[in-house]
Structure 1
Amino acid sequence: MAATSTNQIKDQSLSLTKRLFPWTLYALIPIALLHFYLNPLSFPPSPESELPHSFTSHFSPPSEDEKAHDTPCDYFNGKWVSDKRGPLYNGTTCGTIKENQNCIKHGKLDMGYLYWRWKPNSECQLPRFDPHAFLNVVSNKHLAFVGDSMARNQLESLLCMLATASSSTLLFSNDSNKFRRWHFSSHNATVSVYWSPFLVKGVEKSSSGPDHNELYLDHVDEKWGGDMGQMDLIVLSIGHWFLHPAIYYEDGSVLGCHYCPGLNHSAIGFYGVLRKALRTTLNGIIDRRGGKGNDGVGVIVTTFSPAHFEGEWDKAGACPKTRPYRNEEKKLEGMDAEMREIEMEEVEAAKVKAKGIGGFRLEALDVTRLALLRPDGHPGPYMYPFPFANGVQEHMQNDCVHWCLPGPIDTWNEIFLEILKKWEEQHKSEE
């Protein structure tokens, strides 16, 4: 009887275990998934909290696989991959961020956009930005960003990353902040921004004047061209302003116009105009700075950065994505591809013209595709502070063109640094 009783207890215990096991498993699965979901990301603090150690300049040095490879690297084709480290800075530690791009300060809740890095397809890795290395390369030089608001966006990204290593002094700023200059006394380096949305001479549309732009395609804009002789490095960025209505002039007469109903001018679109403007600019730099007797100049052309509007610009959800596109999800085509192609072709044509001219260096910072894959990095409604504090409004302006700071545009400057390091090595080998 005792043995029978013992066997019955074992059978009951085994039966109970079999019944409970599936329920235990079901309970553990969501716990494990929750742990996996939460652990990879370590989000930055709210604007009111103290800056964590991970956002200071004391970042970890690049690993061996992140160091530059001896062979030339193709930094412009690759994919965005998850990166737990996050950016070097945040919106509360850099005073040069334009308010409309300060997404963290303005309460952007989904900050997953901060945790991606660009991984090239080539054997090379793109190293994490090293502010000390950048300052060493631009020591005793004047670096100028020239162009539209995308040039300013890239400039402010660079200043924020450099601020993690060295302080700067604002030397000059006009009332609109469109022309500013900083000095890094630690390296005697000067960084400037020049507002020139066409690079060539232009008159911008205004509420008190004509409702179209006027471009003079055979004249460099002297608002920056007049200082060209003082510049050692020039970063050019144009594109979006060429989409606006405009009248174009060349050789003292009207060449045509873009979207000018009611005016007696031939409509010629803007692609050819973009080409002419960039050609005039690059030829102007070659003519003024090339040849013997000059110390030389390095020129970077940052290619067109696509917008990501999926809805109306003044409605909620205009750029709703919260993750990068995968390569197969988004193709570079249409206007974005055309704008990039024009800029790449003009860079190559200028290289041919400048061949044999000592001290002149030119490279395209071909960010169009890697920018296309980042629909999650724009301010959207967070171009204004806490846009949903009073609920979703009927009209809500969105910015799906510029980039949050910190954000994807920091990668532009990581690649920029690699180009400068390559030029520095070439210069040393030529001595």
Structure 2
Amino acid sequence: MGVISPLKGQSHTHSLTKKFLSYVLYALLPIALFRLYCHPFPLPQSTTDQLPHNNRLILTTSSSPPLSLSFSKEKEIAYETPCDYTNGRWVHDKMGPLYNGTTCDTIKDGQNCISHGRPDLGYLYWRWQPSQCKLSRFDPNTFLNLFSNKHLAFVGDSMARNQLESLLCMLAAASNANLVYKDGEDNKFRRWHFASHNITISVYWSPFLVRGVEKSNIGPDHNELYVNTVDERWGADLDHIDMIVLSIGHWFLHPAVYYEGGSILGCHYCPRLNHTEIGFYDVMSKAIKTALKTIIERKGANGNGVDVFLTTFSPSHFEGEWDKAGACPKTKPYKEGEKMLEGMDADMRAIGVEEMEAAKIYAKQFGGLRLEILDVSKLSLMRPDGHPGPYMYPFPFANGAQQHVQNDCVHWCLPGPIDTWNQILLEVIRKRSMQSRREE
């Protein structure tokens, strides 16, 4: 009988223990890595303070100390990613608008759909979601900080005014604006001042951007445009403007006679006049070109610089006669692919895009000029539910169904889809500001 070593059984037990510990270790390792990934150890406070300057955004106001917003490198890289805001879809949003149409007193009466008794309020609960990026919710404090000590001007037709009033209502949640100037029929020239940040916001009525004589009951029944001369009602103030948002389109559909260089260029829909019918596309192109060229040359020559945005054409949504109840009856946005941008709407948009691209090339010989298209045509096309319709007047059906009722299927309810235009405007300016600070 052999001698049994006292270590034999212990060796076997030790081997089993080692195997067990190895299995446990392999099992715990991925759990530990997952815990570390989801809940990283906090960095000491001083680490954030030692971030290099180009990883921080400093926003300065005229009435408060600098506001410091820190970003991780990963977030900053993601934030810099170019975003095509034109492609996307409207998604339901329970948060709703930033303001109430019954409390913001700068809304033109005809666009105040809530106070005029529009019964369906579903149109208020949608937000635009770009296909490949995120569009941040409008932050009035960020806007005010970025525009401190600046003058922002909206120039153009009633769409410019519609967008301006939207912006003022969105900012009202953070700061009060004082109306410091008003003039013209229907207050077409107005100016507000935000004392908290020394910001001036103006609106200039100029439905053609160039010099024009509007048709009237006592004058000619057509408009007269001088396509190579800018409208000096806003052009004369360029020295005092830091950012300008241009918006035209719908007024070019009206009958008009066009002048260039002192002679008649032609006309649009003037059967009683002995002029050549040339339509309005080329004339609208010339008007935008004249406006952009004037801004570039005047602001570029004095070296002050300027930010210029051109808002693209906003389609209307008439589905019936303007004086019938069902002119724009939709209560929800179109789904992606349900409605295409085509025909005149697409052509009007293309004119603005082409002229802005040409202006960018021309502006390269000057310094401090930043030109951008604010492309809202598609996202606006997809919102047939956002117009006042018959609620451009208070309680149009209070006395029952009416045989004739005027409809507005062109302008936008406030609050409404046009708030998104300013949301995109702020996003572009904010990204541009971050880029400029990194380059300093």
Query: TM-score w.r.t. structure 2 length?
Result: 0.82
Aligned to 2:38: none
Counterparts in 2 of 1:103-114, with a 5 A limit?
A: 103-114=113-124
> Which residue in the other structure is 1:403 paired with?
412
Distance (whole Å) between structure 1 residues aligned to residue 101 and residue 188 of structure 2: 21
Paired with 2:248 and 2:401, the residues of 1 have a C-alpha distance of: 34
* 1:318 is the counterpart of 2:327: yes
How far off its partner does 1:269 sit? 0.1
Question: What secondary structure is seen at the aligned counterpart in 2 of 1:202?
Answer: strand
Mean Cα displacement is larger for which, 175-184 or 234-243? 175-184
1:92 pairs with 2:83 = no
Counterpart in the other structure of 2:37? none
Distance, in Å, in 2 between the alignment partners of 1:430 and 1:236 is 28
Matches of 1:320 and 1:339, distance apart in 2: 24
Counterpart residue number, 1:150: 159
Quick check: 1:379 aligned with 2:388? yes
The structural deviation recorded for 1:427 is: 2.6
Mapped pair 1:268 → 2:268? no
Which sections of structure 2, spanning at least 5 residues, go unmatched?
A: 1-71
| In 1: Cα distance, 2:136 partner to 2:427 partner | 8
1:133 aligns to what?
142
CA distance in 2 between counterparts of 1:213 and 1:237 reads: 18
Shift of 1:356: 4.1
Structure 1 residues without counterparts, runs of 5 or longer: 1-63
Q: Which residue in 2 is equivalent to 1:38?
A: none
1:175 to partner: Cα distance:
4.5
- TM-superposition CA deviations, 1:139-161 (whole Å, max 9, x none): 10000000000000000000000
Aligned residues: 366
* Matches of 1:294 and 1:266, distance apart in 2: 42
Matching of residues 272-287 of structure 1 within 5 Å: 272-287=282-297
Q: Which AA in structure 2 matches 1:263?
A: L
The one-letter amino acid of 1:233's match is M
TM-score, structure 1 length as denominator? 0.83
Q: Deviations over 1:81-108 (max 9, x none)?
A: 0000000101111110000000000000
- Which residue pairs with 2:50 in the alignment? none
Given the alignment, which residue of 333, 357, 360 partners 1:351? 360
User: How far apart are the structure 2 equivalents of 1:391 and 1:361?
Assistant: 53
Give the number of the structure whose alpha-carbon radius of gyration is greater.
2
Question: Pairwise CA RMSD of aligned residues?
Answer: 1.5
Q: Distance in 1 between matches of 2:174 and 2:437?
A: 25
Offset of residue 428 of structure 1? 2.2
Compute the displacement of 1:298 (Å): 0.2
Is 1:393 matched with 2:399?
no
| Corresponding position: 1:367 with 2:379 | no
Matches within 5 A, 1:247-258: 247-258=257-268
Map 1:29-428 onto structure 2 (within 5 A): 69-122=79-132, 124-176=133-185, 177-291=187-301, 293-428=302-437
* Cα distance in 2 for residues equivalent to 1:392 and 1:359: 57
How far, CA to CA, are the matches of 2:439 and 2:366 in structure 1?
14
AA aligned opposite 2:106:
T
Hey, what does 2:9 align to over in structure 1? none
